[in-house]
Copies of this chain bind each other. A is one copy, B any other.
Amino acid sequence: MSNVQNDSSKSLGEIASEKIIKLIIDNDWNVGDKLPNEYELAEQLNVGRSTIREAIKSLTSRNILEIRRGAGTFISQKCGISDDPLGLTFVKDKYKLALDLLEIRFMIEPQIASIAALKATKEDIDHMTTLCNEVEELILKNEPHMDKDIEFHRAIASSSQNIVTTNLVPIINSSIAIFMDITNMQLRQETIDTHREILNAIIDRDANAAHDAMLLHLVHNRRNIKQVIRDNKI
């Protein structure tokens, strides 16, 4: 593997981090599983306890592990996806950033919806249906629906059976929410309608209709974000 290189430049903590990752993979541990304690890890990996502590801290800030006080160290729900995976923290023009993120959604999400229409399993469809209903309910009750909305789009990506888009779509979509205040978005009815249209197209195995419904959904989103930008630039 070309990613293992130049070991001499790595600190003990980094080497221990890699050993812990290997341990997780080899033992087939999953999200939420508890790691052996510091003492056992030090023993097993044949390194000092302070090195283990350093490794655990580093893996925690990489969102691979999660320390629950009093309970121990666990494999994080965040699956190692960092808080700002695309390195956008330092981008200054947040409006341009929001539009750039949306440009990527235009490139990938309609195609993902097409593939989902062809590849979604029965379980995928049940899951998407539940989320679509939940988002609709939240919107009608006037409650925050962003998290469920992102989950719905993630479920579509996951139905396309592509591991990478499943992780990438929520990163892109939540970045838009993080870097731009879109609480003023007035897309309640459009969101309900186009989400439902996407879902129905996938259920009907109609790849083109799924593509087009997703595209329409994004068009509404882009128009609205541009409106928010105009309003804020006054």
Query: When the two chains form their complex, are residues A111 and B107 in contact, meaning their CB atoms are under 8 A apart?
Result: yes
Oligomer copy total: 2
Closest to A103 in B: B162
Size category of the A interface is 35 or more
Any chain B CB within 8 A of the CB of A71?
no
The minimal Cβ–Cβ distance linking A25 to chain B, given in whole angstroms, is 6
Chain B residues lying within 8 Å of A92, measured Cβ to Cβ, are: 25
The answer to whether B79 and A82 touch across the interface, beta carbons within 8 angstroms, is no
A2 x B111 contact (CB < 8 A) = no
Does A126 count as interface, using CB distance less than 8 angstroms? no
Kindly state whether residue A91 has any CB partner on chain B within 8 Å.
Answer: yes
Flag if B80 contacts A90 (CB, 8 Å): yes
Q: Is A148 interfacial (CB-CB < 8 Å)?
A: no
Q: Which of A62-98 contact B (CB under 8 A)?
A: 62-64, 78-92, 96-97
CA distance A111 to B175 in the complex (A): 21
Interface flag for A130 (CB, 8 Å): no
**Whole-angstrom distance between the alpha carbons of A111 and B146 in the complex?**
28
* Contact for A58 among B1, B57, B146, B162, CB less than 8 A: B57
A residues at B contact (CB < 8 Å): 1-3, 21, 24-25, 54, 57-58, 61-64, 78-92, 96-97, 100-101, 103-104, 107-108, 111-112, 146, 162-165, 167-168, 171-172, 175, 177-179, 181, 183
Could you jot down 11 A-B contacts, CB within 8 Å?
A57-B57, A58-B61, A61-B61, A61-B62, A62-B83, A63-B87, A64-B89, A88-B163, A104-B168, A107-B107, A164-B175
